[in-house]
Amino acid sequence: MVLENLNFLILVILAPLLVLAGILGFITPTGLKKISTEPAYNIFHIVCGLSGAVVLLSNNDDAVKTFNIVFGLLNLYQFAASYAHQFPSQYFKWTRTDNLIHLLIGTFLVTVALLGE
């Protein structure tokens, strides 16, 4: 039960951070960019953050867990796609920092969500 609540807590933190990351990507000065700020990548973050907020509003533990697994797997895919130059690398233009973030967050989300069964 603790991990179920942890999944909920993670998404409560993650959803607004994703929206904020997307917005900041549009307004960050070019010289300060350690992560990709491509418009498509920013929109992806905003859409995922808003989707996470909708899932939270459902107040459904299974939906929260599923979101965390799917978003975690998307992060792991982005990590792999960046190195393999697969879709959507040409639109998102990930950096090494993005890759590290995707690997860490993806692994964390999937692990916590799966252990919550």
- What the block records as the tokens of 103 is 């690997």
pLDDT of residue 77: 98
Query: pLDDT tens-digit profile of 14-40?
Result: 999 999 999 998 998 665 678 888 999
The radius of gyration of the chain from alpha carbons, rounded to an integer in Å, stands at: 14
Quote the crossing angle between the two packed helices 39-58 and 61-84, to the nearest 10°: 160
101, pLDDT greater than 80: yes
Say how many domains are in the chain.
1
Kindly list the distances between the CA atom of residue 38 and the CA atoms of 10, 29, 43, 82, 94, in Å, as whole numbers in the listed order.
26, 12, 9, 14, 9
Report the share of the chain in percent with pLDDT over 90: 82
Domain with 23 in it: 2-115
Largest CA distance in the chain: 45
